[in-house]
């Protein structure tokens, strides 16, 4: 057999060379505005585990980035940043140095005190002012000597920050410096010096403060009246009565309130006259002062104030009746709960609680649903004060809803409504009120709600000072922590699962 012919070889295509991998493109560099936005976003998150990006940003070639990083670190108030921030006080840009000094206030530690004290000698006045303010956070007596170097600074704002910090420190050396500033050319500095001396509470400052009632500046005279009232200086009463007899009204509110705190009956005729002033803000202060002084004339003024044309006066009169009133005032105060403005309703609610008028409890319960947070806060306090077990279910409902921060009205909306922090106090007030109910400790509904509310809160929230209604905030009563309120309200016989 003949051999088979071979098939012609098919040429293979040339082997393709593997293309060399190109290096990945580096991400485009962020613009300064984008870097600043990223820093601000980091600060808004609150706690930051790794501060390195922010600390590195303090050395950025763009001054705006360095300043943004300093502001962010100040908002975070993380002590880990203090040393790096202190070094940044040598930044060539004064705006950066000012932001760094401001950040060292909340973020600073004792070992950064010397850096801030050196910044008091900075050539830029804003840096000096920020450094003086930052030293107030620690209020270290060791800083007094450095602050004294700013007492005669050419810039009034620097002296103003210095006097505020010296007032916070309050040592004898600091008070001596404050006395020197009572003759400062700036009335704002003199005013702060007066308030700083009053903050010390030392009786030896009374004579100096009393002389400032004759200061040419009304804002200084007003500050002197405030301090005289806080320290109950009866020797200042004659001069304050002279001020009330003058036509100028600017400092009269401070004088009226001070006379009420001093409690000298010599002031009653002038206070009664001021309660008839055409200026409603003077009527408000006079009614408050008479409420503290007490007496038949004060009660008559408060009763007239309940029907005043100005809602602030009606609210002040109701508060005054909380101390001046009698059981027969129940009807008048219940009528005031129908007032169109929340402030008189708030005052009437507090008054009913102060007077212990248990007959008002069913009507006060309705105020727990009032649209105004100030009224709801007063109602929570009042039902707790009255021991109204009938309010248990509504208080539990409010507790379970948790703290709720409502938005404040915009300017022009509901123009007569006052802005307040009532919502931030409401949760703590509910816990306190539940603890005061006679049968709250025996009610599984109350106890389970309290246990669940406490379990939702972190330890740092439980260990903060309680935010309570104003009747609970007095100078002679320590403020409890939120944890203490829970411990008082939760019965020890209840387990963590709420069973007795």
| Helix residue spans in 50-124 (DSSP H) | 52-57, 63-76, 82-87, 94-107, 113-119
pLDDT above 50: residue 450 = yes
pLDDT of residue 476: 74
The model scores a pTM over 0.75: yes
Please give the pLDDT value at position 421: 82
Tokens describing residue 371: 């649209």
Q: Is 473 helix (H, G, I), strand (E, B) or coil?
A: coil
pLDDT at 107 over 90: no
DSSP string, 384-423: HHHT-GGGHHHHHHHHHH----PPPPPTTTTTTSPP-SHH
pLDDT over threshold 80, residue 43: no
**Is the model's pLDDT at 208 over the cut of 60?**
yes
Asked whether 51 and 80 are in contact (CB, 8 A), the reply is yes
Output the pLDDT for position 298.
95
Mean pLDDT, to the nearest integer, of 464-481? Answer: 88
With 0-12 / 13-18 / 19 or more C-beta atoms within 10 angstroms meaning exposed / middle / buried, residue 143 is buried
What phi and psi, each to the nearest 5 degrees, are found at residue 481?
A: -85, 165
Q: What is the pLDDT of residues 324-356, one digit of tens each?
A: 999 999 999 999 999 999 999 999 999 999 999
- Measured from the Cβ of residue 222, the count of other Cβ atoms closer than 10 Å reads 21
Asked whether the predicted pLDDT for residue 385 surpasses 90, the reply is yes
289-317 residue pLDDT tens: 999 999 999 999 999 999 999 999 999 99
Q: What is the mean pLDDT of residues 379-384?
A: 97
The pLDDT value recorded for residue 3 is: 60
Confidence of residue 406 (pLDDT cuts 50, 70, 90): very low
Closest to 268 in 3D by CA, of 230, 336, 324, 347: 324
Q: How confident is the model at residue 475 (pLDDT cuts 50, 70, 90)?
A: confident
Residue 14 CB burial class (10 angstroms; 0-12, 13-18, ≥19): exposed
Mean pLDDT over all residues of the chain?
88
Token couple for 104:
């060292």
User: Which pLDDT value is given to residue 413?
Assistant: 41
Return the sign of the alpha-carbon dihedral for residues 206, 199, 228, 260.
negative
Q: Would you state the pLDDT for residue 455?
A: 92
**SS3 (DSSP) at 83:** helix
Q: Per residue in 140-170, pLDDT tens? A: 899 999 999 999 999 999 999 999 999 999 8
Burial class (CB in 10 A: 0-12, 13-18, 19+), 198: buried
Give the C-alpha distances (Å, rounded to integers) separating 481 from 270, 288, 387, 488: 41, 29, 22, 11
- Give yes or no for residue 110 having a pLDDT over 80: no
Contacts of 20 (CB under 8 A, 6+ apart): none
The pLDDT, as a whole number, for residue 417 is: 44
- Tell me what the mean pLDDT of segment 80-101 comes to: 92
pLDDT given at position 1: 52
Beta-carbon neighbour count of residue 225 at 10 Å? 30
Predicted confidence at residue 409, as pLDDT, reads 41
CA distance 488 to 263: 35
When mean pLDDT is compared across 17-31, 228-242, 422-436, the lowest value belongs to 17-31
């Amino acid at each position: 057999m003949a051999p088979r012919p071979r098939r012609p070889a098919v040429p293979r295509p040339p082997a393709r060379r593997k293309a060399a991998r190109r290096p990945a493109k580096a991400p485009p560099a962020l613009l300064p505005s984008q870097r600043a936005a990223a820093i601000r976003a980091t600060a808004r998150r609150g706690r930051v585990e790794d501060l390195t990006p922010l600390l590195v940003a303090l050395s950025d070639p763009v001054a705006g980035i360095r300043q943004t990083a300093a502001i962010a670190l100040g908002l975070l108030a993380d002590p880990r940043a203090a040393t790096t921030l202190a070094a940044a006080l040598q930044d060539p840009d004064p705006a950066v140095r000012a932001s760094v000094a401001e950040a060292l206030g909340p973020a600073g530690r004792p070992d950064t005190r010397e850096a801030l004290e050196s910044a008091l000698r900075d050539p830029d006045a804003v840096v000096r002012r920020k450094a003086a303010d930052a030293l107030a956070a620690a209020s270290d007596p060791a800083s007094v000597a450095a602050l004294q170097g700013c007492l005669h600074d050419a810039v009034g704002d620097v002296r103003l920050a210095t006097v505020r910090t010296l007032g916070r420190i309050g040592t004898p050396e600091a008070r001596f410096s404050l006395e020197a500033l009572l003759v400062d050319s700036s009335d704002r500095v003199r005013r702060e010096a007066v308030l700083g001396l009053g903050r010390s509470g030392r009786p030896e400052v009374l004579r100096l403060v009393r002389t400032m009632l004759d200061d040419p500046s009304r804002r200084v005279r007003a500050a002197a009246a405030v301090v005289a009232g806080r320290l109950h200086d009866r020797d200042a009463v004659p001069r304050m009565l002279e001020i009330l007899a003058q036509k100028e009204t600017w400092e009269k509110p401070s004088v009226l309130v001070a006379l009420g705190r001093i409690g000298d009956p010599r002031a009653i005729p002038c206070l009664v006259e001021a309660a008839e002033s055409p200026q409603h803000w003077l009527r408000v202060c006079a009614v408050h002062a008479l409420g503290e002084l007490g007496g038949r004339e004060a009660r008559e003024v408060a009763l007239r104030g309940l029907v005043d044309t100005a809602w602030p006066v009606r609210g002040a009169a109701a508060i005054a009746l909380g101390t001046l009133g009698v059981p027969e005032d129940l009807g008048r105060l219940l009528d005031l709960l129908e007032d169109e403005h929340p402030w008189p309703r708030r005052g009437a609610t507090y008054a009913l609680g102060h007077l212990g008028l248990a007959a008002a409890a069913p009507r006060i319960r309705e105020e727990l649903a009032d649209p105004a947070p100030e009224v709801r806060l007063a109602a929570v306090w009042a039902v707790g004060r009255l021991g109204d077990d009938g309010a248990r279910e509504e208080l539990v409902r409010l507790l379970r809803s948790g703290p709720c921060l409502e938005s404040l009205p915009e300017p022009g909306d509901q123009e007569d409504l006052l802005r307040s922090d009532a919502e931030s106090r409401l949760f703590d007030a509910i816990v306190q009120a539940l603890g005061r109910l006679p049968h709250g400790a025996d009610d599984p509904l109350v106890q389970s709600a309290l246990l669940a509310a406490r379990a939702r809160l972190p330890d740092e929230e439980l260990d903060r000072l309680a935010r309570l209604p104003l009747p609970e905030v007095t100078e002679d009563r320590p403020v409890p922590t939120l944890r203490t309120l829970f411990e008082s309200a939760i019965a020890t016989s209840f387990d963590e699962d709420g069973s007795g």
